[in-house]
Structure 1
Amino acid sequence: MASSEESFLARRIDAEAFPLAVVDVLALSAVLTIGVINHNGVEYLSTAPVAWLLTLVPFLVGWAVASPLIGAYSAGAAESAKAAIPLAIRAWIPAAIIGFVLRASPLFSGGFQVSFGVVVLLVGGVALIAGRWLFFALLR
């Protein structure tokens, strides 16, 4: 018999939704990378690759924690954009908050400012919407 933790995660993660996870990580990484380029220039990606990746990590960790708990990769998420997009938005809000907390901690540089939070929350949400919409429009 499965434990309650296994049952909970089994209801939240469906193998059919794996392509959505790839799309989501690419979408979030792309918008965060664009932000890094806007603030530091494109050469920063090659001259400071660790710093660039450490900019992405807090939000990708937040996404890895929040998205399965919210059900962003549940069986329903893999069925249609109509189901997938709201789940991504519901997962992005706590994921971004986790990212903000991590950035504000001594573990990561960058800190947190309200204006940064608003931009990341909105642009990250738009990236997830666009990525999932394109996924279903082009591939399903």
Structure 2
Amino acid sequence: MATSVASFIDRRIDPGALPLAVGDVVALSAILTVGVVNHNGVDYLTAFPVAWLLTLVPFLIGWAVAGPLIGAYSAGAAESAKAAIPLAVRGWVLAAVIGLGLRWTPLFAGGVVLVFALVTLVTGAVALGVWRWVYFKIAG
């Protein structure tokens, strides 16, 4: 069993995709932070840093699960924008569902409403897609 798990992880996570992983976390954190600022103002980030981070955590947990599961860091994803962007968008759909599910529990404040879910889904997908497109334009 350990061999099959290791084999699965080896197919899903390629070391060449590390720049994508770092950029994905930055892009998602940035877009989620923009949402926090839009709702609470810039001062909220310094006045309530734990609350701000707890807004990001459910979605970053979702991404940590969904990204590798979907193959967002596979060897193919590290080769071209044509492969990387659809994998990221598909991964984000699952990650957003996980993040929203976590926000629905008492573990994280904020709850879930339909408009928030849709905005999170769309903005996260756009952020990941734009980031990965820019990455491949620069990296070649």
Same fold at TM > 0.5: yes
User: Within 1, Cα distance between the matches of 2:69 and 2:9?
Assistant: 7
User: Within 1, Cα distance between the matches of 2:36 and 2:13?
Assistant: 31
User: Within 2, Cα distance between the matches of 1:3 and 1:94?
Assistant: 26
Q: What aligned pairs does 1:1-140 form with structure 2 within 5 A after superposition?
A: 3-140=3-140
User: Within 2, Cα distance between the matches of 1:38 and 1:114?
Assistant: 18
User: Within 1, Cα distance between the matches of 2:139 and 2:113?
Assistant: 38
- Count matched residues: 140
User: Within 1, Cα distance between the matches of 2:53 and 2:139?
Assistant: 29
Query: TM (normalized to structure 2)?
Result: 0.98
* Structure 1 residue 138: Cα displacement: 1.5
User: Within 1, Cα distance between the matches of 2:91 and 2:6?
Assistant: 20
* Identity in percent: 65
Query: TM (normalized to structure 1)?
Result: 0.98
User: Within 2, Cα distance between the matches of 1:20 and 1:64?
Assistant: 13
CA RMSD of aligned residues (A): 1.1
Provide, for residues 83-107 of structure 1, a one-character-per-residue CA deviation record: whole Å limited to 9, x for no partner. Answer: 1000001100110000000000000
User: Within 2, Cα distance between the matches of 1:85 and 1:119?
Assistant: 19
